[in-house]
Amino acid sequence: MDLKSVSSSKSFGGYQKVYEHFSPTLQCNMKFGIYLPPGVSETEKCPVLFYLSGLTCTEQNVITKAGFQKFAAQYKIIVVAPDTSPRNCNIPNEDEKWNVGSGASMYVNATEEPWNKHYQMFTYITEELHQLVLNNFPVIQDKISITGHSMGGHGALLCALKYPGRYKSVSLFAPACNISNSPTLIGGLTALVGEEKDILQKWDTTFLVKNYDGPEMEILIHVGSDDEFLTKDLLIDNFVKAANECKDNKIKTKVFLEDGYDHGYYFVSTFIEEHFKYHSSKLSS
């Protein structure tokens, strides 16, 4: 695996780095951010938290705007922030719309032309990047957690529901929870995987959670009451209802509706300390 260093900046005693690599899964070059806390080394390994960003983001958004490095340093957690889709693949109109194409992989494996050659983001995140991080950085191999914002919240849920037991903890910021029922998001999803209802539901966390049969899982969710996508696109209530119906009560959701916050990074940065505290407690137990 050929990892090319793009940048490295000291931050809160550790290093915020960006790497580029050729992804065989996606058939293009990909970037990801990785924060290495102070002191981390081959002899002092750390847990790792994957952070999946929302539509239109690159790996830069969370590493520059969320202010997480202070808490990643404090709790000694490596943080991996992948890009949100393949880019520069010469797919017609790939950069034209914010909800289809570049930045809008929806974290699924595409089956439809022209996206299917490159847009295999679910496999990229859960297999290729996952192994790449475990093989190349000082990570404690069984201490892995996941979080995400907006469409990245959907992505984090997909990972957690389709890999039961892999992630020690799951937390979400204003997650899209039922994308096949969102009028804004359904167009992107059908472009990637077609219009068959049972296929759509295999990539919709509200449907997936009903049949979840892995170890017990608690999911921490923060969302702002002034989030402009709350009622029409995030559909968190649908997910919570479905989670409550899953057998043996295996999924527990802890949802905090935060008064007056919107969908952006001012919201994420306000609550990110709580999420690191949460992941740290689960990762150290």
Give the DSSP H/E element, type plus range, for residue 199: helix 197-202
What is the secondary structure of 28-88 as a DSSP string?
Answer: EEEEEEEEE-TT--SSS-EEEEEEE--TT--HHHHHHHS--HHHHHHHT-EEEEE-SS--S
Under the criterion CB under 8 A, does residue 33 sit at the interface with its own copies?
no
- Which one of 266, 277, 281, 284 is in contact with its own copies (CB under 8 A)? 266
Closer of 71 and 167 to its own copies (Cβ): 71
* Residue 83 is a catalytic residue: no
Sign of CA dihedral 127, 130, 136, 138: negative
Active site residue 130: no
Nearer to its own copies by C-beta: 57 or 189?
57
**Spatial CB neighbours of 30, under 8 Å, sequence gap ≥ 6:** 20, 21, 22, 23, 82, 83, 86, 124, 129
Nearer to its own copies, 203 or 267 (CB): 267
| Residue 163 interacting with its own copies (CB under 8 A) | no
Candidates 9, 116, 211, 231; binder of its own copies (CB under 8 A) is 9
Q: In b/e form, how buried is each residue of 252-265, taking b as 16+ CB within 10 angstroms?
A: ebeeeeeeebebbb
The residue type at 119? Y
Choice between 15 and 163, CB closer to its own copies: 15
264 lies in the binding site for its own copies (CB under 8 A): yes
Cα–Cα distances in angstroms (integers) from residue 57 to residues 73, 99, 185, 261, in the given order: 24, 11, 16, 20
69 binds its own copies (CB under 8 A): yes
Q: Give the H/E segment covering residue 15.
A: strand 14-23
Stretch that binds its own copies, among 12-20, 95-103, 114-122, 152-160 (CB under 8 A): 12-20
The answer to the question of residue 262 lying near its own copies (CB under 8 A) is: yes
Active site residue 227: yes
Identity of the amino acid at 93: N
The residue to which tokens 């690599």 are assigned: 21
Q: In whole angstroms, how close is the CB of 257 to its own copies at the nearest point?
A: 13
Q: Does 10 help bind its own copies (rule: CB under 8 A)?
A: yes
Q: Exactly one of 149, 154, 222, 263 is catalytic; name it.
A: 263
Does residue number 267 form part of the binding site for its own copies (CB under 8 A)?
A: yes
Rg, the chain, Cα only: 18
Residues 6+ apart with CB under 8 A from 66: 51, 265, 268, 269, 272
Catalytic one among 85, 227, 233, 275?
Answer: 227
Q: Which residues are CB-neighbours of 231 under 8 A, at least 6 positions away?
A: none
Asked if 261 is part of the footprint of its own copies (rule: CB under 8 A), the reply reads yes
Q: How far is the CB of 69 from its own copies (least distance, A)?
A: 7
Which of 265, 279, 280, 282 binds its own copies (CB under 8 A)? It is 265
111 binds its own copies (CB under 8 A): no
**Residues known to be catalytic:** 150, 227, 263
Applying CB under 8 A, the residues found at the interface with its own copies are 9-13, 16, 64-65, 67, 69-70, 224, 226, 260-262, 264-267, 269-270
